[in-house]
Structure 1
Amino acid sequence: MPSPRRGSGADPNPGSDLMTRTPNRRLLVLALATAMTGPAWAQQTVDPQAAFGITPPEQQAPAAPVARPDSNFTVSDIRVDGLQRIGAGTVFTYLPIERGDSVDSSRIAQAIRALYKTGFFEDVRAGRQGDILVFTVSERPAINKLTVTGNKDIKSEELLKGLGDIGLAEGETFDRLSLDRVTQELTRQYNNRGKYNVEISPTVSKLDRNRVDVTIAIKEGKAAKIRHINLIGNEAFEQEDLTDSWESAESNWLSWYRRDDQYSREKLSGDMEKLNNYYLDRGYVDFSVDSTQVAISPDKRDMFLTMGLTEGEVYKVSSIQVTGDTVLPKESIERMVLVKEGQTFSRALLELTADSITATLGNIGYAFAQVNPIPDIDRDDRTVAINLQVVPGPRVNVRRLVFKGNTRTSDEVMRREMRQFEGAWYSQVAIDRSKVRLQRLGFFEPGSVDVQTQPVPGTSDQVDVVVNVKETTSGSFVFGLGYSQLAGVTTSVQLSQNNFLGSGNRISVEAQRNVYLQRYSFSFLNPYFTDGGLSLGYNLWWREFDNSEFNTAQYSSTSASGQMVLGVPITESDTVSALFGIDRNQISTFRGYTPDSIVDYIDALGARTFHSWRTELAWARDTRNDYLQPTRGTLQRVSLETTLPGSTVQFYKLNYEFSKYWPISRALVLNTRIDLGYGDSYGSDSVRVFCQTNPGQPLPTPSGAVMAAAPADCAPGSTYDRTLVASGLPFFENFYAGGARSVRGFRDNTLGPREAAANSTYLQPLGGSLKTVGSLEMFFPTLFDSPAARISAFVDFGNVYKDVDAFDANELRVSTGVALMWRAPVGPISISYAFPLRQGDNDEVERLQFTFGGAF
């Protein structure tokens, strides 16, 4: 096939045209081409084998010998030999010579440099065949595959993206210079992370059709550890006080978790800034770090840091004034100033003042307000005069709210949580509040809600508020199938979704069946039944089970219930809710196997089926900053549940739940939790007298009515047997403690009062009318890189008591242990291992516990 000519006007390989590629990113070739000052034909060919370890493809032989263009001539045609992947049209685009031009050696040299600058070729030569100008080229190889191995500190996605930005990517033209730059940059990046033993080994493998595979093998090694930090020149403060907040520290017993002994240039730079702030916050205006020396051991494993300091003198504030356009009355702005005349200078108070003024102006629409503190330092008197210059900028209106990343959740669900509205003045408080409300939905990854303000092009008084989120699993699906000799075939299906079809509605459906349990339930909640935030929900369930399988007293029950729930928000953090329901509970007991106190309670009532008209009023306050993994804030809930007159048993239950998250540091979050409950009956106690005519045959009173006095009411010929009284909270409404969601380390529901049946010595858990449960739990949010998992250490305590009079603090059970929580794709999973610190003789210990489902 003849070589392509410019005069023909045809491109033999148009599909490979590379005009869209950037031609000037091959700096090495450009430098070589620029260095050519002699005739173009004197240019020496770069040996591809020496540069890349690759033999260039066979050059296409010209039809006749090609001579050096050693004299001026007029170009009748242009031909390019040696092209494989690159189209001739692309080459002609970059050539500064056209057919009909008169050329000499300088113009030909210019053309060669232009082709080198494209970065497509490793060798370019010029020749002449009659009046035809012939360029013979050797193309650079294309990258067939790019592989990075051994990297842990730098993620592969970020690494490949960075390589692509400099042209080192699959499909791009291979350039050794780019590969060398990558090697140097990676070495620098790892050195900044304290890994001085890193080895970067690039390998280039030749393939057919002028292609190569590039492999970058990384051996990261271990980070050098800081063995000693020495501050020189600090006289006013101890070194321990100065370095207390540093991210860099000498190796200590917590370094395995904090990783603070791993040297990093970025961390050290931040620590120097903290050191500077420490002194400026205490009036040392002239403080300076004179020198920073970092020494490394010969094996590159130990680091020694030395900093020389100059403290200077303490400065006082001589005067402070507010200038500029304050927008609000100047007196209002001046009241926000925390720095007072005569005080020791503090940059922290100065910045806090500026932030307060900026936030105040930002809340009334001045999104770009600035407060510039201008100090006037008098070094003779050791004083500083401060001028706070207020620059409000234009008042800004929000044009649009834009939501990104919500692939399932509809915009409407997110929009109704926003407190910043379109068409309203910009408000930083409203935006911050909107962010917290979105995080508390539980639909997005912790910390993934990011709100940005983007100016509208062409205007100075409008912005768009862009909300970026990353969605997470908001539901769970469980299907179980099993078999055991005791329970037979067990099947269960449970589906719960807190964001059903992206609508924000909550739906849960459950079906479970085995020998001992049948349960079917359905619940639905619409948190925005009205635009004002009124929530409406329904709960329906039917259950038949043997309680003995749930670590409670041995009796069976069949129950059903229908409930309606209504919620009304009264503030941003407070909600009042009401529940109204009807339920039916049929109890079956077995004297000799069921504790006598339960059997006597039912006999005293003379009923085994309980009907209830149930109501509940509750108040809740939620100030947590996140639904899934909060790090600060409080959750409180107080509820009163009661049955209405006309119910089989009239009783009430009070519950109080409190949970507060304390951010100790970036790596530690403390949660304090308490759960209290109390219940009792109201109205008159139920009393029933039993008489008997024959032993073992109890006979109720002739009228069958409840009576207060016993012997005199027995029928003639019968004798008094006993009087039974049903009082207090019904046994089937008792509180229970122990288990993975209560006091870990003890079996579910086994703490508190126990009683043996007549035919057994086993003490069965009864529960109680008073519950006291609490916990101290320390979370380690940075121990795992994944936001879906976290670990904690805890101390749990609690118990249940028969009534208030039976409360004894010495009877509280205590356990300690560790827990792992993981938000799996099918729902949250929690695993804990606990050691009881205080336990009773009859307590049932269960150290390893596992739960699936439910929030954590």
Structure 2
Amino acid sequence: MTRPTPRRLLALALATALSMPAWAQTAFAPFTVSDIRIDGLQRIGAGTVFTYLPVERGDTLDQAKSAEALRALYKTGFFEDVRLDHQGGILVITVVERPAINKLTLVGNKDLKTEDLLKGLKDIGLAEGETFNQLNLDRVTQELNRQYNNRGKYSVTITPNVERLDRNRVNLTLNVKEGKAAKIRHINLIGNEAFAEEDITKNWESRTSNWLSWYKRDDQYSREKLSGDIEKLNAWYLDRGYVDFSLDSTQVAISGDRKDMYLTAGMTEGEVYSISAVTVSGETVLPKEEIETIVSFIRPGTTFSRGLLELATDAISARLSNIGYAFAKINPVPEIDRDKRTVGIDFQVQPGPRVNVRRIVFKGNTRTADTVLRREMRQFEGSWYSQAAIDRGKIRLDRLGYFEEVSVENEPVAGSDDLVDVVYTVKETTSGSIAAGVGYSQLSGINLSLQLSENNFLGTGNRVSMSVSRSAYQKRYDFSFMNPYFTDEGLSLGYNLWWREFDYSSFNVASYSTNSGAAQVFLGLPLSESDSVSLMFGIDSNEILAFPGSTPPPLVDYISAVGNQTFHSWRAQVGWGRDTRNNYFTPVVGTIQNLSAEIALPGSTVEYFKISYDFAKYWPLSQALVLKTGMNLGYGDSYGKDFTRNLCYTAPTIIDSNNDGVLDTVVPGPAPTDPCLPTSPDYDKTVTASGLPFFENFYAGGISSSGKVRGFVDNTLGPSYGTVTGFRQPLGGSLLVAGTVEAIFPKLFDSPSARVSAFLDFGNVYNGFDNFDAGELRVSTGVSLLWRSPMGPLSISYAFPLRKQDGDQIERLQFNFGGQL
């Protein structure tokens, strides 16, 4: 006779225990049910019970029928206890309802968000208002333990607390003590002979403790991270020709105190295989030679690489998807010769049906008109499917700046295998503002502004801006309008009107001020997906106000030589720009270039020109590191006649201000006049105005100027008036040379609105090409934080000058709040 196993005995005991109440409660003779009464109901209506009850008036209730009734009522989950009895022909059902959950509270959870947990609990019936079931509570406790264990927190304790209330209600509290995640103390690879362990694991997410672990937490064990690392281990060997590589074992051990983890992986490397032949078969659609050219970078005799096979497969698929074959399948079939250690690859092409795009659909654009999105599309309805055109449309929508997120997917058309709908889903973000703001920078101090701006005016894509701002150095009033699609071909048209009262002495620039105004009109025309040209024409007036005794004499001489302190200009500007960046705010790849030439046309008070070129390129070295290289160049000069005048200057008077017998105060003479009289005690001086006007000079230094060289006070580099040890007034220069090399770390913050970088800046300004000297370039290095905060952009840098000279003004910590990044 077979002896019952412990598992069978346990099952038998449970079945007996569950069946005994039903048997005991049905130990009465069968009878005909004349009526049914339900006792004990509090929240649940009698009609709900009758819905589930398999017994009706007139039925004969026997042992089998009563057991069926009990099972049906217990199965509802509404009751903790159900008993059947009868009084004559009346069936009496006595129930004890399960309590309702009045309040559900989570305490102590940090790694798992409360809203995510509550949503998961609701899916299994544990939510406020639901019926409380102890079994569900136990399941929740087990699931939470599992989730925390997957995150490496093995010391987690979850204590449920059930508080009984009146009216058959309960409050549930889940007290979570997460504890600390177990840390990886050692990673041991066994069987790796061809490669060092540190080389194999250098890109793993699971790492032993290092100097960045406090931030990256890469030394905390996670089952998901380990799974990804095991896949990286396979890829490491398969990308280097080890076709027979096998992972023999993976062991994860935990210390007794549940704080330390030890990872061990055993492997067999095998031999290195090379490519013997590469062929293409199947219905290639395109000439077979063209497909072979696409995969020509995989050459016979080279080491086998699964990564190269994936690149080749993607390249063929991309080429076919761009001519309508959206569902093409490329299968690289290997033919392995283990004796010769070679692999032959046959790329089998299955193009599938050629697909047309039936419709392009936009979702999520509650404010922006469909036409604004549709004009950015490069895939057209009714034409062959093109993945490149669809992807280009997504990039163009991303670069508008109207949307926080843009995604695209294909939806097959029911009943047709050669039609798809392309659906772009956008999440709109704030594209305008009506705000009174306060900004602050070390350069300009407090800046008060009132700005009404809308980059997507009434959802049309037009840009309108009006602003009034005031700070220690300026008063400014601006209005601008721009229609980026004045014509269907993409010709943009815009206008600018502004008036500014600017005190340069508060801007780390030579002591003078200007009152200026302008009216401008500009046009833009796209040449390609990434290139555009622009044209601007405007008129402006610029009144220069010099301060006797304070404004440097070279500036006073220039104004005097021209003979007019108000400069009128007819101004024209032509520009070219190229932008291939992948994102408007936080690019990680691509280039942006701007070249502009500006000229004060003949008939202006002073005739001159300015040329500037700005360049920046982003090099994605890895997911965690992006290298940015940038250059800013500028040059200007006059092309019209020089101004020369012979003026009478009154010599300054030196007085003894303290009556101590020492002449110590200089009282400047009046402004220069026409040539002196022969008997005058004053002196004549010939003054000349030539070259780029001083009020159009370039400046360098600091965090705010176009010639950004952080670590130096804004605008202070280059030519100046004054002595090294005394008061110096920067004059700027007609030649700007500046650049930067910046290492950006996009993964240090999860938020896309913040980034940290380490930089090396260099730059200076000069008086023309003849005075350029590379040895005069200032150099600094440091770290920077850029953050698009809810209150406005914030830029902070800390820099150390590497190359400086006596008299340079150093400012290591610099920040700017409320301006452009």
TM-score with structure 1 length normalisation? 0.86
- Residue of structure 2 aligned with 1:297, choices 236, 244, 255: 255
Residue 219 of structure 1: aligned partner = 177
Match of 1:754 in 2: 720
Of 513-522 and 686-695, more deviation after overlay is shown by 686-695
Partner of 2:34: 76
Whole-angstrom CA distance in 1 between matches of 2:250 and 2:70: 50
1:100 correspondence with 2:58:
yes
| Aligned residue runs from structure 1 range 37-76, under 5 A | 38=19, 41-42=22-23, 68=26, 70-76=28-34
Asked if residue 423 in structure 1 is aligned to residue 393 in structure 2, the reply is no
Residue 319 of structure 1: how far off its partner (Å): 3.8
Matched AA of 2:688: V
Q: Of residues 607, 630, 649 in structure 2, which corresponds to 1:673?
A: 630
Match of 1:627 among 584, 602, 617: 584
Partner deviation per Cα, 1:819-849 (whole Å, 9 max, x = no partner): 3322233432223333333333333333333
Matched, 1:308 2:274: no
Within the candidate set 697, 700, 717, 1:734 is matched to 697
Aligned counterparts of 2:696 and 2:439: Cα–Cα separation in 1: 31
Q: How does 1:90-239 map to 2 (within 5 A)?
A: 90-239=48-197
CA distance in 2, matches of 1:327, 1:105: 74
What residue is the counterpart of 1:617 in the other structure?
Answer: 574
Q: How does 1:142-541 map to 2 (within 5 A)?
A: 142-338=100-296, 339-445=298-404, 448-476=405-433, 478-479=435-436, 492-513=449-470, 517-541=474-498
Tell me by how many angstroms 1:576 deviates: 0.6
Q: Give, as a single letter, the amino acid of the residue that structure 2 aligns with 1:522.
A: F
In structure 2, distance between residues paired with 1:133 and 1:345: 80
Does residue 637 (structure 1) correspond to residue 594 (structure 2)? The answer is yes
Q: Cα offset for 1:311?
A: 1.0
Counterpart of 2:714 in structure 1: which amino acid?
A: D
Instruction: Give per-residue Cα distances to partners, 1:663-683, cap 9 Å, x unaligned.
Output: 232222222222111111113
Contact 1:527 1:534 in 2 (8 A): yes
Residues 281/68 of structure 1: CA separation in 2 closer, same or farther (3 Å cut): closer
Q: CA deviation at 1:716?
A: 9.0
The whole-number CA distance in structure 2 between the counterparts of 1:310 and 1:450 is 42
The CA deviation string for residues 25-46 of structure 1, in whole angstroms up to 9 with x for no partner, is: xxxxx99998777476446xxx
Q: Distance in 2 between matches of 1:474 and 1:569?
A: 23
Q: For residue 184 of structure 1, give the secondary structure of its aligned residue in structure 2.
A: helix
Match of 2:545 among 571, 578, 588: 588
Q: May I ask how many residue pairs the two structures share in their alignment? A: 785
Within 1, Cα distance between the matches of 2:445 and 2:376?
48
Write the letter of the residue equivalent to 1:190: Y
Superposed displacement of residue 394, structure 1: 2.3
Q: CA deviation at 1:290?
A: 0.3
Deviation at 1:267, TM superposition (A): 1.2
Instruction: Report Cα offsets for 1:200-240 as digits up to 9, x if no partner.
Output: 22222222222222222222222222222111111222222
* Structure 1: 5+ residue stretches without partners: 1-29, 44-66, 702-713
Output aligned runs, 1:638-717, within 5 Å: 638-690=595-647, 700=674
Tell me which residue corresponds to 2:808. Answer: 843
What is the match of residue 656 of structure 2? none
Task: Work out whether residues 698 and 721 of structure 1, in 8 Å CA contact, stay in contact via their aligned partners in 2.
Answer: no
2:519 to 562, 568, 587: 562
Tell me if structure 1 keeps the 8 A contact 2:581–2:592: yes
Name the SS for the 1:419 alignment partner.
Answer: coil
Query: 1:696 Cα shift?
Result: 8.2
Secondary structure at 1:529's aligned position in 2? coil
1:225-277 per-position Cα deviation (integer Å, ceiling 9, x unaligned): 22221111112222222222212222222323433222211111111111111
What pairs up with 1:813-832 in 2 under 5 angstroms? 813-832=778-797
Deviations 1:497-516 (A, max 9, x none): 33333332222222134786
Shift in Å at residue 539 of structure 1?
1.0
CA distance 1:550–1:394, change in 2 (3 Å): same
Structure 2 counterpart of 1:796:
761
Q: Which moved more, 1:728-737 or 1:307-316?
A: 307-316
Amino acid at match of 1:512: S
Q: Which moved more, 1:318-327 or 1:78-87?
A: 318-327
> Which amino acid in 1 is paired with 2:713?
R
Q: Is 34-43 or 272-281 further displaced after alignment? A: 34-43
- Partner SS state of residue 177, structure 1: helix
Paired with 2:302 and 2:786, the residues of 1 have a C-alpha distance of 49
SS of corresponding position for 1:119: coil
Q: Match for residue 778 of structure 1? A: 743
Question: Residues 439 and 819 of structure 2 are in contact (CA less than 8 Å); yes or no, is this contact kept in structure 1?
Answer: no
- Name the CA distance, whole Å, in 2 between partners of 1:134 and 1:624: 77
Deviation at 1:698, TM superposition (A): 6.1
Q: What is the deviation of 1:774?
A: 1.8
3-state secondary structure, aligned to 1:309: strand
Deviation, structure 1 residue 300: 2.1
Q: Do 2:23 and 2:63's aligned partners in 1 also have CA atoms closer than 8 Å?
A: no
Distance in 1 (CA, whole Å) between partners of 2:350 and 2:155 is 51
Deviation at 1:538, TM superposition (A): 1.1
Residues 360 and 692 (structure 1), Cα distance of their counterparts in 2 relative to 1, 3 Å cut: closer
Q: 1:286 to 1:93 in 2, by over 3 A?
A: same
Letter in 1 for 2:261: M
User: CA separation in 2, counterparts of 1:481 and 1:661?
Assistant: 32
Structure 2 partner of 1:724:
687
2:36 maps to a residue whose letter is I
Which amino acid in 1 is paired with 2:541? R
> Matches of 2:721 and 2:625 in 1, distance apart?
43
Q: Structure 1's 321 and 482: CA in aligned 2 closer, same or farther, altered over 3 A? A: closer
Contact 1:473 1:825 in 2 (8 A): no
Q: CA deviation at 1:658?
A: 0.9
Q: TM-score, normalised by structure 2?
A: 0.89
Match of 1:19 in 2: none
Contact 2:438/2:818 (8 A) holds in 1: no
Flag the 1:107–1:566 CA change in 2: closer, same or farther, 3 A.
same
Inter-partner Cα distance in structure 2 for 1:183 and 1:692: 92
Return 421-430 or 371-380, whichever deviates more. 371-380
Tell me the distance in 1 between the aligned counterparts of 2:700 and 2:447: 26
Would you say the 8 A contact 1:476–1:826 is kept in 2?
A: no
> What do the CA deviations read for 1:644-700 (whole angstroms, capped 9, x no partner)?
111111111111111112223222222222211111111332222336999989664
Shift of 1:570: 0.4
Secondary structure at 1:745 match in 2: coil
Q: State whether structure 2 residue 752 is matched by structure 1 residue 787.
A: yes
Distance 2:818 2:673 in 1: 50
Q: CA deviation at 1:772?
A: 1.8
Distance 1:738 1:320, change over 3 A: closer
Q: CA deviation at 1:546?
A: 2.4
1:140 and 1:571 map into 2 onto residues whose CA distance is 69
SS at match of 2:307: helix
Tell me the CA shift for residue 294 of structure 1: 1.5
Distance 1:386 1:32 in 2: 62
Distance 2:579 2:76 in 1: 62
CA deviation after TM superposition for structure 1 residue 475, in Å: 4.1
| In structure 1, distance between residues paired with 2:216 and 2:445 | 50
After superposition, give the CA deviation of every residue in 1:85-135 in whole Å (9 maximum; x if it has no partner): 222222222222222222321122112112222222222222222222222
Rounded to whole Å, the distance in 2 between the matches of 1:830 and 1:481 is 15
> Aligned partners of 1:488, 1:431: CA distance in 2, in Å?
47
